Amino acid sequence: MNFVNLYIMNTTRIAKVIMPFALLLIISMPSCYYDNTEETYPGGVPCDTSAVTWTLDIQPMVNGHCSGCHNGTQQFDISTYASVKAIVIDGRMMQAMSMMQGMPKKMPPGYSLPDCTLLKTQLWIDQGALEN
């Protein structure tokens, strides 16, 4: 066997050993991460509540934190304005969102929404939970 063939065989063997670890590293890098603004920027980011709307504030929050599970496959569907309005009217939305971590039926489970998000949601509800 000449040097080139030996080099290729060793390189192939090394690649077979390293490749699974490299693939695992690449796959695990973009894992889920929920950024709590208050912890990331202590005393920093202002909460703009001057014009809270369904379209710009509440719907993106529901889509990002709620409708992944509550899309009709678990308990209830909150993928539309009408379905969200129904749980706003009976008080379940703010009740579930404002519970302490670890309490049953805390939503979203596993983490708390930023205080600004809770404030905007309550303000939107207080203003009549309009579809604007």
| Amino acid at site 59 | Q
The predicted structure's pLDDT at residue 58: 95
Q: Quick one: 120 and 64 in the same domain?
A: yes
Domain that holds residue 11: 1-31
Q: Quick one: 52 and 115 in the same domain?
A: yes
Q: Quick one: 104 and 122 in the same domain?
A: yes
Q: Quick one: 27 and 41 in the same domain?
A: no
Q: Quick one: 55 and 117 in the same domain?
A: yes
pTM, whole model, 2 decimals?
A: 0.63
Q: Is residue 132 part of a domain?
A: no
The predicted structure's pLDDT at residue 84: 92
Number of domains in the chain: 2
The predicted structure's pLDDT at residue 107: 86
Tens-of-pLDDT digits for all 132 residues of the chain?
Answer: 566 666 666 677 776 777 777 667 676 665 555 556 556 666 666 889 999 999 999 999 999 988 888 887 766 788 889 989 998 998 888 888 888 766 777 888 888 888 899 999 999 999 999 999
| Amino acid at site 70 | H
3-state SS, residue 41: coil
Q: Are 101 and 112 in contact (CB under 8 A)?
A: yes
Q: What is the DSSP string of 65-94?
A: HTTTTTBTTSS-B-SSHHHHHHHHHTTHHH
Q: Is residue 48 part of a domain?
A: yes
